[in-house]
Amino acid sequence: MVTLFFNTIGQMSCNPAIGGVGKGQLVKEIDALGGQMGLAADATGIQFRQLNTSKGQAVRSSRCQSDRKLYKLYMQDIVRNQENLDVLEDKVSELIVEGDEVRGIKTENGLEVKAQTVIITTGTFLKGRMHVGRDITQGGRINEPNSVTLADSIHALGFPVMMFKTGTPPRLDGKTIDFAKLEPQHSDDIPVPFSFRTLRIPEDQKLLPCHITYTTEQTHQIIVDNMDQSPMYSGQIDATGVRYCPSIEDKLKKFSGKNRHHVFLEPEGLDTDEYYPNGISTGLPREVQEKFVRSIPGLENVKITQYGYAIEHGVIPATELFPTMETRKVKGLYFAGQVNGTTGYEEAGAQGLMAGINAALKVKGEEPFILRRDEAYIGVLLDDLTTKQTEEPYRMFTSRVEYRLIVREDNADKRLAQYGYKFGLLSEEEYKKIIDKYTAIEEEIKHLKNTRIAPGTDMDRILEENDTAPLSQATTLSDILKRPQINYAMIAAFDGTLCNHPQGVIDQVEYEIKYEGFIKRQLKDVDKFKHIEKIKIPHDLDYDDIQGLSFEVREKLKRFKPLNLGQANRISGITPSAITVMMVYLQKMYALRP
């Protein structure tokens, strides 16, 4: 591992939080594959919350505030103790490429490191420039240099380098915040861990509240009056920003009718008074930041410990990659994280894990590992990135996932642990616990479907107390549980034969039974989806040989080189008729092969 500074490994550059809507699912999947993010979040979390709890399990997402310092130290300890890993403090200046294959890297200090595979994870450092008003600083993060020569080396290999923009808010001294004016937001009473390997969050693990305040009309007026000094609107930055995590300047431009916006004050850690004001990311001059921050209730006398800034950074279009994260142009070269045009720790972590797995498999001469859209949020993420042209930073959402009834947070271990175990990232003991868990779930579902309750018992009383009709005939416990008013605890209280299962097992039993019809319908959709995904496209296929394809379609197929017909179908501009033509051609071609 080559990094600028060992002591910034695991640095949370933006807010000290893990998870969120759509992102919590990614963390659970990283964990099920044997990654570390979920374990780190559990060990260093200072607030845990389940989001979308009123909307059902399919879109429920976990989020936690982490202690920024402890999270970094946790990750550094993992890296330090990783067997067979050497860490070099240096700056990579050039890629060594022979023909169309990577051979290693060169560093700024003149070292050459030979390798069969190389993974580039530059975050915001590739050609990074930070903006505070009209002041521009070359760098990838405060007090850390950017990477320009590596960007030039990548560009020289034929890769386009686009510029994206993101940003961060000022940091605040908590001792100068008037919390009496703010609305507290506490942790869940019973924190739900991220990792399937964490039994529970210890009762003595200290948890802190976040606080909510709002911008005011005065705040908005100060910003509007100084909009010409914003790097994004003065023409100083000519890059695409994050639509789903906009700066406060963007919010006022795009939502001019709103008279206030949420500001979430998030603690940075247990041994610091610093707070992260989520919702007011900005690149305005320092003196303007001072004025508008102090116009927010509770922050009238606040001291800013670090000013916010906008940052523009180099991005390699992810359409240059296969879903394995390997580049199409250079064999053995992989890109992962923000350099692919994504935003967020979770999206970056998922890409890094998949790139690492595939780089290792390539060295071993084994088949690559690609997750389908019906298997994982990670599958959706990588498929979207590599088949759709991203004109703005990509953020994961539950709405991007077609099969979210069966691809949920709670069953990520069921879906993906087999792979983590196969690749040696989960131990046999860890994998066995997951097998035992799903055996218990299956047995309990079977028990509920085979156990009938006759009318005239105490069950009728329970049903009536919960505003649902009493039984008119012998009914299975599973059918009773399907009633919206009934939950597992009500049945367990009635029937002493039910086991005392952990809450995670109970939740899945209840969900699988209540949504059984919808799940079966979605599984049928998946079967149809798999049909087209199974039609492989040879890597050396000559698209010019296929009659009936337009010039535009041929050029896009040559550029993207889809691995199967499903991927081809998701490329923008590839028509249904073109897919039909290709299907007929491939079926005929495969039939003619010996």
1-15, 227-241, 306-320: least confident range: 227-241
pLDDT surpasses 90 at 495? no
118, part of any domain: no
Same domain, 179 and 279: yes
The DSSP bridge pattern shows strands 2-3 and 88-89 to be parallel
Q: Which pLDDT does position 43 carry in this prediction? A: 98
pLDDT surpasses 90 at 502? no
58-67, 111-120, 235-244, 260-269: least confident range: 235-244
> Residue 91: pLDDT band by 50, 70, 90 thresholds?
very high
pLDDT surpasses 80 at 498? no
> Residue 594: pLDDT band by 50, 70, 90 thresholds?
very low
The pTM assigned to this predicted structure is 0.91
Q: Which pLDDT does position 540 carry in this prediction? A: 85
User: What range defines the domain where residue 492 resides?
Assistant: 428-523
What is the percent of the chain where pLDDT is above 90? 73
The H or E element that residue 61 is part of is strand 61-66
Same domain, 184 and 225: yes
pLDDT, tens digit, 9 for 90 and up, residues 178-200: 999 999 999 999 999 999 999 99
How far apart CA 412 and CA 511 sit, in angstroms, is: 14
Closest CA to 406 of 503, 491, 529: 529
Same domain, 517 and 478: yes
pLDDT surpasses 70 at 496? no
Half-sphere exposure at residue 98, Cβ-oriented, CA atoms within 13 angstroms:
6
Q: Which of 246, 275, 309 is the last residue of a domain?
A: 309
pLDDT, tens digit, 9 for 90 and up, residues 283-311: 999 999 999 999 999 999 999 999 999 99
The CATH number covering residue 191 comes to 2.40.30.260
How far apart CA 211 and CA 265 sit, in angstroms, is: 5
pLDDT surpasses 60 at 438? yes
pLDDT surpasses 50 at 405? yes
Integer Rg of the chain from CA: 26
Same domain, 468 and 566: no
The CATH number covering residue 562 comes to 1.10.150.570
Residues counted in the chain: 594
What lies within 8 Å, CB to CB, of 207 at 6+ separation is 45, 46, 47, 48, 186, 187, 191
Domains: count for the chain:
3
CA dihedral 526, 353, 247, 309 (to 10 degrees): -170
Average pLDDT for residues 483-487, to the nearest whole number? 92
Which two tokens mark 561? Answer: 């080189």
pLDDT, tens digit, 9 for 90 and up, residues 6-42: 999 999 999 999 999 999 999 999 999 999 999 999 9
Q: Which of 268, 289, 309 is the last residue of a domain?
A: 309
Same domain, 491 and 518: yes
115-124, 358-367, 413-422, 496-505: least confident range: 496-505
Average pLDDT for residues 404-430, to the nearest whole number? 96
How far apart CA 167 and CA 568 sit, in angstroms, is: 34
